[in-house]
Amino acid sequence: MPASARILEIGDFHYVKDEYPERTTLLWTGGRSPLLGRSQYFDCTAPRLLRAMADVRAGRYDLVVAYMGLRSPWHPRNWLRALVAEPTRPLATLSRGFGTSWLRFVSIPVPLVVLDMNDAFIMGRHNFFLLDQADVVFKRELPVDRWHILCHSLHPRLPTRRIRRQPRWQQRRGAASRSTLRPSDCRRRNFGAGSRAPGSLGRPRVSAGSAFARPRPRSA
């Protein structure tokens, strides 16, 4: 990907915006405002996301980066935290929390990278659709048995043999490519790898671990 690539970042982290501020548009979904200037991000409301997706289809972005949320956007804790943090802007603060979940209704013609930077090793049901839409999914915290990621969501305890044998979930789990993204890798200027110059946008640097999902095949 060229060094001039434009990036759309959606979620409650802003690692890419920190590293490539001039080339990244941040649509914020967090309950609290980020530690950035107000001009450095936009609330991920429905109208703003629709405009951003129109720009993606028009070729104004080369990459979309989205973050998995720890809790469902319908969780009351998200609403309460948002209202307490910014009581003067209730509509924007409440609606932006649904930003990532709205991606299930849109088609993204450019590569989609999904990051789970939360402390929990499990994954909520509200994130399952991202496993199908993303080209690559990186999860920071992984258990030894990768199927434990689905505890308390797909199954109340440990996913059974019936679930593990389903082709759909085998595909979602992927082939365990022995690579996962660390938070420190997102903060470094050398996000590009190989012979690319520092600051260029290439493949994410990886460390020992395991990616959860296999890149989806693209239609011709």
**For the ranges 30-34, 110-114, 140-144, the one whose mean pLDDT is highest:** 110-114
Beta strands in 13-170, from DSSP E residues, in sequence order: 24-28, 42-43, 63-67, 112-116, 136-139
Q: Tell me what percent of the chain is helix, strand and coil, each rounded to the nearest 5.
A: 35, 15, 50
Q: What is the pLDDT of residues 20-74, one digit of tens each?
A: 999 999 999 988 888 899 899 999 999 999 999 999 999 999 999 999 988 888 8
Q: Which helix (H) or strand (E) holds 128?
A: helix 128-133
State the pLDDT at residue 155.
64
Which residue reads 């085998």 in tokens? 170
**pLDDT tier, 198 (very low <50, low <70, confident <90, very high otherwise):** very low
User: Is 12 among the domain residues?
Assistant: yes
pLDDT exceeding 90 applies to what percent of the chain?
A: 36
Hunting for tokens 């640097």 — which residue is that? 205
- 209 is a domain residue: no
DSSP string, 84-97: HH-TT-HHHHHHGG
The pLDDT value recorded for residue 172 is: 64
197 assigned to some structural domain = no
Residue 29 lies in a domain: yes
Does residue 209 surpass a pLDDT of 70? no
- What pLDDT is stored for residue 1 in this prediction? 58
Residues spanned by the domain of 150: 7-187
Strand extents, DSSP E, the chain: 7-11, 24-28, 42-43, 63-67, 112-116, 136-139
Strand ordering across the sheet containing 24-28: 42-43, 24-28, 7-11, 63-67, 112-116, 136-139
- What does the pLDDT read at residue 99? 92
pTM listed for this prediction: 0.70
CB 205 within 8 A of CB 185: yes
- 71/93 Cα distance (integer angstroms): 16
| Total structural domains within the chain | 1
pLDDT at 158 over 80: no
**CA separation for the pair 84, 199 (Å, rounded):** 38
